[in-house]
Amino acid sequence: MLFVSGASGRMGGAVVRQCGVPCRAGSRKAKPLNPACETALFDLDDPATYDTALVGCDAIFLMRPPTTTRRAPFDALLGAARAAGIGHVICASVYGAGGSRVLPHRHMEAAVRDGAIPYTFLRPADFMQNLADVHAGSIRDRDEIAVPAGEGYSASLDVEDVGHAAAAILVDRAGHAGRAYDLTGPAALTFEDVAWVLSGVLDRKITYRAVSVPRFVIEQTRAGRPLATALVMAALYSVQRFGRAAPVRPDFENLTGQPAGPLAAYLTRERARFA
């Protein structure tokens, strides 16, 4: 039995769909998420929810909630996991966290390393799903993507492949214990490339408009996005602009024995969201 934290989100949901073993989905509202999966009340900031969520499980898929920036909750959860007899922790972090002194994911990784339970780190790059979650409106209404990424490249990943990676680890936990995998898509693309692929899938011209950071923030706030969110988004796209986004890495294929899903496959699957 695999316990999946963050099961109501993109990454946890992908693990629930793809893990291939019985699972229990952790949710702050304990509402049913998947008919093939148990659901349990779970809140990382509330240790009273740990024992019921973990009982009967022998592995955890752990991820960082966006609001959690401290190590203490992870230390508490790992203590409960040891007491519950958990035998492996699959920790979903983020690309670059291994050497970062800034990313809050470092606190989660440190707690997992010190938790006295065999573990594996998954460090995914940006997700292809951001195209639908963030840019679907401008693609549908204006046939464009406008971001401050310049001509930078990024090997974005289909979030479903995080689920496939977790499934591979569960097949051979001992063989992956203590290891870390950088998960990327199969190709590093500019947003010009992304627009070209979108044009082919949607059968209409999609344009990439490279904008400055101030222009991007102004346009996002005018569209109703909170200023703080717009600033974070601008920072992330600037990472790509300055060549610091994830390059193509072989870890996913080495881990699963298959290539990561290409952008065209994701866009074809989600075509209705852009049409």
Query: What confidence tens digit (pLDDT) does each residue in 139-166 have?
Result: 999 999 999 999 999 999 999 999 999 9
234-254 residue pLDDT tens? 888 998 999 988 999 999 999
pLDDT at residue number 179? 97
What's the chain's average pLDDT? 93
Q: Give CA–CA dist 13/19, Å, rounded.
A: 10
pLDDT grade, residue 214 (50/70/90)? very high
191-222 in b/e burial notation, b at 16+ Cβ within 10 A?
A: beebbebbeebbeeebebebbebeebbebbee
pLDDT grade, residue 215 (50/70/90)? very high
pLDDT at residue number 106? 92
For residue 97, give both structure tokens: 């966290």
Q: List the single range of 109-123, 211-225, 226-240 with lowest mean pLDDT.
A: 226-240
pLDDT at residue number 140? 95
pLDDT at residue number 66? 83
Q: For the residues 72-95, what does the mean pLDDT come to?
A: 97
Q: For the residues 69-93, what does the mean pLDDT come to?
A: 96
Q: Give CA–CA dist 249/32, Å, rounded.
A: 36
Q: For the residues 10-28, what does the mean pLDDT come to?
A: 93
Q: Give CA–CA dist 195/202, Å, rounded.
A: 10
Question: Does residue 120 register a pLDDT over 80?
Answer: yes
Q: Give CA–CA dist 69/67, Å, rounded.
A: 6
pLDDT grade, residue 29 (50/70/90)? confident
Burial of 75 (0-12, 13-18, 19+ CB in 10 A): middle
171 neighbors 256 (Cβ within 8 angstroms): no
Question: Does residue 111 register a pLDDT over 90?
Answer: yes
55-75 residue pLDDT tens? 999 999 999 988 888 999 999
- Going by C-alpha positions, the residue among 125, 115, 73 that lies closest to residue 90 is 115
Question: Does residue 90 register a pLDDT over 90?
Answer: yes
pLDDT grade, residue 264 (50/70/90)? very high
Q: Give CA–CA dist 61/11, Å, rounded.
A: 10
- Higher pLDDT among residues 5 and 229, named by residue: 5
Structural domains of the chain, with CATH? 2-124 (3.40.50.720), 130-156+186-247+257-273 (3.90.25.10)
Q: Which residue has the tokens 């590093």?
A: 188
